[in-house]
Amino acid sequence: MTTRLSRSRPQRPSGPSPDQQRFARGTRTVADLVAPAAVEVARDHLRLDSQFVRTLVVTGYPRSVSPGWLGPLVDFEEPIELSLHLYPLETAQMVSTLSHKLVQLHSSRLLAARGGRLPDPEREVAYEDAERLRDALQRGEEKIFSVALYILLRAGSLGALDALTRKVELTLGSMLAHTRTAILEQDTAFQSCLPQGQDRLLLYRNLDTSSVATMFPFSSSSLTMERGVLYGIATHNHSPVIVDPFDESLENANMVVFATSGVGKSYFTKLMALRNLLLGVDFLVIDPEDEYRGLCQAVEGQYIRLASTSSQHLNPFDLPPSDEDEEARDPLAERVAGLLSLLEIMLAEPGRRLTSQERAVLDRALYSTYAAAGITPDAGTHHHPPPLLRDLHGVLTNTRDEVARDLSVRLQRYVEGSLAGLFSAPTNVALDRRLVVFNIQALEPELRPLGIHLITTFVWNQVRRARRPRLLIIDEAWSLVQYPEGGAFLAGMARRSRKYYLGLVTITQDVADFLEVDHGRTVLANAALKLLMKQDSAIIDPVVQAFGLSVEERQFLLAAGKGEGLFFARGSHVALKVEASPAEHRLATTAPRELAQRRLASEDRAAGDVSAPVRRRLGQEDGVA
């Protein structure tokens, strides 16, 4: 026997040293950030700081369900938390267990038959279910899962928690599901609902694959698309409404926004534009009230001010670009037809239309005007500079025809009079920015529909040159639709915009008038997206009829606050509330008081005025700030 001696090495201490342990206790961990200061465990609830929590356990399920049967809980009107634990069971053992159960049930049937008793319906149903499930397991069509479903409720007071519990129990009762409160197990139940995914309560029900599939994944009635931006928060389940106007599931990218004045329709539109710019969508805005200037400057867009005295011009005689996809199309004839629509607005008497003779004279004069500029139906001449409105006036004046001279007299005020500035020069505006705003606030009332018509025509020509996602926003669209030819132009754009990767966003507060005209109804029918915000009781009935609203939805629109509305898309609609970050709010708001406060603060910083607090206080007393 040989004994070998060796020097033993000293054992290193296992684990951290006392100093390391003390240092670890002095550092902040995730638990320090999320854990409550104290937990008070009661018989049927927990108290986490100032919050009361209760867990309900689903113990009974309906016999037959449809997919998404948990929808009433997912879309519940108040925030609740659902925890679903799934444990797959071994198929071979389940087949053996079900076979043993079938033997028991069959023995009970034989004993009942020998005793002369009638078959028990409950036992017969159980026998059929067990036999069907065993055969499905044997063929590999189904699996068995142990399922635990817990519902976590939170409230600021015990009374509010009891009220919320009753609401949830009534909802589950209407779904033929049974629940119970985890009495004396609230701490364990709360741990089972935490994101760590550990079930400590262990209250299961056995369900097959088909039954589990109706519970998971959850489905919700909110509108959420795979790619898009936030349009608002659904009020019924607090889920985000994410929309992509160019999504393939939508018929087109057109949208209508109906709302009374001052409820946030422009606010919503500016948020939509600001967020869609991040996704590569270009925006063209017709701004009648100078509300988009701040947004345009923030994103370095192009701001165009149209007025009689403005240095920026749009020539209505510009020819549309050639389109290789439409070889048979005549750009000159198309532009002449568009000019006839414009001249209809300019020259027709209020409430009347141009006669067929007047239109014929104008059609002949327009072709003569283009010919004088060297432009003919031959595409090789379309590169020549287009004529101006004064050239048409000259042709009409020199024509020996009473109708032409009468039209010339009516047209003169747009050529030489006070309204001539808008049409007096060639086009000097280029759409080379991601956001282009046309400010028409300074346009005279007579020129405003003409300006809108010019802008939309100019935009229409531009979008056909380069097809990329664009949205054209027309605010106060009633000023264009109220004219027959202007309405026809807008309705035609609504029908054809999808082909050119363009979406038309129509905003109006004159809902009743808009829906009374055929072109207004056409614009509405060709809009895949719709937003209804607060409506006045005097005009709510046409809206209810046009959109098929229920009594509850009618009342919602009458009582809606700022930023609230009904959003329609893909055949469904949800009530939403528009939400914005502080930075977005500063760019989108048009509240007079807030803008006045901001202006005073800016002036104070620029001047370094020591009396600024006094002036601000005086402004508040006067109702200015």
Quickly state the pLDDT bin for 484 (edges 50, 70, 90). Answer: low
| pLDDT given for residue 221 in this prediction | 58
| pLDDT given for residue 5 in this prediction | 43
pLDDT digit string, tens, across residues 490-548: 888 888 888 888 999 999 887 877 888 888 888 888 999 999 998 888 888 888 888 88
- Is the pLDDT reported for residue 8 higher than 70? no
Query: Which pair of structure tokens corresponds to residue 34?
Result: 């999320």
Q: Which DSSP string do the residues of 173-213 spell out, in sequence order? A: HHTT-EEEE-TT-HHHHHHHTSTT----S---EEEEHHHHH
Looking at 358, 383, 412, the residue that finishes a domain is: 412
- Tell me: do 342 and 251 sit in the same domain: no
> Do the domain assignments include residue 245?
yes
- Tell me: do 336 and 448 sit in the same domain: no
- Exposure class string for 494-526: b at 16+ Cβ within 10 A, else e: bbebbebbbbbbbbbbbbbebbebebbebbbeb
pLDDT digit string, tens, across residues 390-407: 899 999 998 888 899 899
Provide the residue range defining the domain that includes 608. 594-621
> Do the domain assignments include residue 293?
yes
Distance CA 4, CA 168 (A): 76
> Do the domain assignments include residue 218?
no
- Tell me: do 404 and 506 sit in the same domain: no
Distance CA 267, CA 534 (A): 14
> Do the domain assignments include residue 6?
no
- Tell me: do 39 and 182 sit in the same domain: yes
| pLDDT given for residue 7 in this prediction | 47
Query: Which pair of structure tokens corresponds to residue 369?
Result: 């005007």
Q: What average pLDDT does range 262-286 have in this prediction?
A: 90
- Is the pLDDT reported for residue 220 higher than 60? no
- Tell me: do 73 and 121 sit in the same domain: yes
CATH number, position 578: 3.40.50.300
Q: What average pLDDT does range 457-484 have in this prediction?
A: 79
Distance CA 304, CA 459 (A): 13
- Tell me: do 195 and 236 sit in the same domain: no
Distance CA 607, CA 419 (A): 41
Quickly state the pLDDT bin for 98 (edges 50, 70, 90). Answer: confident
Instruction: Return the closest-CA partner of residue 423 out of 310, 305, 287.
Output: 310
Distance CA 169, CA 56 (A): 9
Question: Is the bond preceding 320 in cis, omega lying within 30 degrees of 0?
Answer: no
| pLDDT given for residue 412 in this prediction | 87
- Is the pLDDT reported for residue 363 higher than 60? yes
Q: What percent of the chain has pLDDT over 90?
A: 15
> Do the domain assignments include residue 176?
yes
Beta sheet of 502-508, edge-to-edge order:
240-243, 229-234, 572-577, 564-569, 529-533, 255-258, 502-508, 470-474, 282-287, 435-439, 302-305
Distance CA 52, CA 46 (A): 6
Distance CA 288, CA 265 (A): 14
> What is the domain count for the chain?
4
pLDDT digit string, tens, across residues 113-156: 777 777 777 777 777 777 777 777 777 778 888 888 899 999 98
| Lowest mean per-residue pLDDT among 8-12, 27-31, 167-171, 519-523 | 8-12
Residue with tokens 């519970």: 215
> What is the 3-state secondary structure of 212-276?
HHCCCCCCCCCCECCCCEEEEEECCCCCEEEECCCCCCCCCCCEEEECCCCCCHHHHHHHHHHHH
> Do the domain assignments include residue 105?
yes
- Tell me: do 209 and 260 sit in the same domain: no
- Tell me: do 551 and 603 sit in the same domain: no
> Do the domain assignments include residue 346?
yes
- Tell me: do 258 and 307 sit in the same domain: yes
- Tell me: do 401 and 350 sit in the same domain: yes
- Tell me: do 506 and 605 sit in the same domain: no
> Do the domain assignments include residue 20?
no
Query: Which pair of structure tokens corresponds to residue 12?
Result: 């290193």
- Is the pLDDT reported for residue 270 higher than 80? yes
- Tell me: do 152 and 128 sit in the same domain: yes
How does the average pLDDT of the chain come out, rounded?
81
- Is the pLDDT reported for residue 623 higher than 70? no
Distance CA 33, CA 259 (A): 44
pLDDT digit string, tens, across residues 290-322: 888 888 988 988 888 888 777 888 888 988 766
- Is the pLDDT reported for residue 337 higher than 60? yes
- Is the pLDDT reported for residue 419 higher than 70? yes
Distance CA 234, CA 224 (A): 10
572, β-bridge pairs: 569
